[in-house]
Structure 1
């Protein structure tokens, strides 16, 4: 599979993304514990959202231009234990040895959950670009 144009970072409502964006955002507890920044392709966003953010009333989604972080990415399973091919099923983009901030983040969306995440996902289809 070809490399994506964008990859996405989902951020819980409990860690609001500052506006304006800082030069570097703080890492989440999960990212610090894992040793890398967890990212999703647009095809993975719905599953990531429903699995890890199902009860959040809102989330922040950071759209990152892949080419700005490509040299720091390893494609691996969700735990970072098994390497894989770019964009392969079950493989996630993990960013090592760098943070995210104004240089990498192309745009930020704030999604509000209704009963579930289906409506916000439908509205964002044109924004979730592979």
Structure 2
């Protein structure tokens, strides 16, 4: 037996966001979409809390698997509009760059770092 088709979206919001407000916004978008089934009802789980933000996952069931891509696209546009209107920022994950610096780049990095450190000591 095949599992019921569903549309799941995962959103990271900043740590200073009220998670209940974000949950209500996500559920509102899912309930408003005509292709999301009422039963089983859409749900939101608080899936992660990290230094980068809060991750909420919302799931809603649909009638068939062939329409999930279009519905997910509709929901992403709607959720981003609602987040923007509510002034809820998305989380901004930290970027870590790992690699080897060439000798010339390494020297420039050391010079820049040294200048920044001296500048901050003078303040």
More strand by percentage: 1
The structure, 1 or 2, with the larger RCO (C-alpha pairs under 8 Å, 6+ apart) is: 1
TM over 0.5: no
**TM-score category of the 2 structures, normalised to the smaller one:** under 0.3
Greater helix proportion:
2
> Which is higher, the Rg of structure 1 or of structure 2?
2
